[in-house]
Amino acid sequence: MVVAESVVAPRTLDLTIDSPALGERRKVRLLTPRGWSRGASRTWPVLWLLHGGVDDYTAWTRETDVAQLTAASDVLVVMPDGGRCGNYSDWWNYGRGGSPGWETFHMSEVRRILERDYRAGSARVIAGNSMGGLGAMAYAARFPGMFRAAASFSGYVHTLYGHQVGDDSTGWGPSFACPGTDWRRVWGDPDDQAAIWHAHNPYDLADRLRGVRLWVASGDGRAGSLGGLPFTDPVEAGTYEHAQALLGRLNSLGIPVTARLYQGQHQWPYWERELHRAYPMLLDALGR
């Protein structure tokens, strides 16, 4: 249920949603197209744009020119809060389930609210950076037919990459992003709850991406043309390996994908550039 609306900039509307799946209130930012209103007689195609870890729903408008990029497009842009370490998943919570249910929040609660009250149509594409790249590919695979295209920029698209039995370091991400969080609450132990891990891993779900237009991009960790650290960025070097693994899997399945592997780091200038490069494909998938 939407409990508050706030216009924060031209075309920019923030919704506060009281979410049963999360057990709390969280926000969703919308970039509305020209002519949009809640009472319009038509609907608009939708671009879901997901943020990365240790960030929030303001990330893309705060760090990039997405508002300018989309200004002339006949598209509703949806940027939901995904939690600092939410992993775009309903957490396992040691078999108890319950909150936080990020997947349910996004794919059920937010989607239905937008389609019922904010003129969102049924044509959808999705993209995201870092943790949001994981979310974009996972949602596209876990909800067949929901999205016409999916783009991952420096995403963790093979969450079990390099995992060895007994290696607890595989799941450390949520604990790092949210100190004090038990990372096993998300998907459990990668050995004991392997089925849950596989069910949320884009690499393992690759065959379910058939028919979705795909874009997979990552830097190699070295400073590129847009600058960066004077040493190899280990985070981006890791997503580079993830991207290569997913691309190899997609190619082995005969699933078309646009690959963008470049010299660059885990930083916003590169993600802004990649959104610009992927945007025509996303619009084309929406018929725009």
User: Comparing C-alpha atoms, which of 88, 72, 68, 91 is closest to residue 80?
Assistant: 88
For residues 48 and 115, the answer to whether their CB atoms sit within 8 Å is: no
Q: Rounded CA gap, 216 and 249, in Å?
A: 12
Widest Cα–Cα separation across the chain: 56
Q: Which domain holds residue 172?
A: 2-285
DSSP state of 75: -
Q: Rounded CA gap, 156 and 130, in Å?
A: 6
**Per-residue pLDDT tens digits for 219-256:** 999 999 999 999 999 999 999 999 999 999 999 999 99
CATH no. for residue 70? 3.40.50.1820
**Per-residue pLDDT tens digits for 33-90:** 999 999 999 999 999 999 999 999 999 999 999 999 999 999 999 999 999 999 999 9
Confidence of residue 171 (pLDDT cuts 50, 70, 90): confident
**Per-residue pLDDT tens digits for 24-49:** 999 999 999 999 999 999 999 999 99
Calculate mean pLDDT across residues 108-127.
Answer: 98
For residues 87 and 111, the answer to whether their CB atoms sit within 8 Å is: no
Mean pLDDT across the chain: 97
Number of domains in the chain: 1
